[in-house]
Amino acid sequence: MRRSFTVVSIGVHSVVIASVLLTQMAAGGALPSPRRPIMFDSSQFMPVDIQLPKPPVAPTPRRTEAVSDNAAPIVSPQGVREETGRERNPTERTVGLVGGIEDGPPATIADIGGTTVAPPPPPQPTEPIRLHSGMTAPVKVVDVAPIYSAIARAAHVRGVVILEAVLNTQGAVQSVRVLRSIPLLDQAAVDAVQQWRYTPGLLNGRAVPVVMTVTVNFRLE
């Protein structure tokens, strides 16, 4: 029964499809024409308003300002100018200054009158300066040994305390600052160095204040 129904269904569908195809083939008249595609060359472009650049504006000529007769020219000369009467006499000599305010070569001893003028002495420094190779180093003339405190001796503390001393122009110690500290020995080292005396430090033959480094060695006998 089921098989007979399937055969009948296939036959009915075949008849319907065949009738549709025959109807389309038997129909008369012209076939519809396909739509024409839009070509790129037939498209319409919108006009564009293009702004042309403005013509260049001629530069405004600069106003000619008064130029000194001694100023260097900035354009090539077209000829020889007439003398104005203000040209410098070649026999004149202007004394030149170090700052460059006046022109001309610097004055020499012969220009002043042949008298030898000694240069002024260099200014004496007011701040202490550190020792360098161009100085005469101070020499200790008075030495005071540090007092080994009982606490430091009982604790067997020993070593080297490094100090920075400032000497005045007479060779006396003005101030002392600890650079390398040993807490139980610092004060004893400072008290001893403050009593030391030196010859003055010399720079160009003159006494100057000096900063120098000194050491105090503590040893247990």
The residue type found at 56 is P
pLDDT of residue 215: 95
Percent of the chain past pLDDT 70, that is, above it, reads 64
The residue with greater pLDDT, 138 or 49, is: 138
pLDDT of residue 101: 46
pLDDT of residue 213: 94
The residue with greater pLDDT, 202 or 19, is: 202
| 194-209 tens-digit pLDDT | 999 999 999 988 999 9
Element (H, E) at 207: strand 206-208
pLDDT of residue 116: 63
d(CA 49, CA 73): 51
**Domain 129-218, second-level architecture:** 2-Layer Sandwich (3.30)
Of the pLDDT bands very low, low, confident and very high (cuts 50, 70, 90), residue 95 is very low
* Mean predicted lDDT score pLDDT of the chain: 77
**What φ, ψ does residue 52 adopt, rounded to 5°?**
-75, 145
pLDDT at position 113 over 70: no
Give the pLDDT mean for 55-76: 69
pLDDT of residue 209: 94
| 35-53 tens-digit pLDDT | 666 555 544 555 556 677 7
Give the pLDDT mean for 82-101: 55
User: Where are the chain's structural domains?
Assistant: 129-218
pLDDT of residue 59: 76
pLDDT of residue 139: 94
CB-CB contact of 167 with 89 (8 Å): no
Residue 129 CB-density burial (10 A; 0-12 exposed, 13-18 middle, 19+ buried)? middle
pLDDT of residue 121: 65
| 143-190 tens-digit pLDDT | 999 999 899 999 999 999 999 999 999 999 999 999 999 999 999 999
Q: How far, in whole angstroms, is CA 36 from its chain's centroid? A: 74
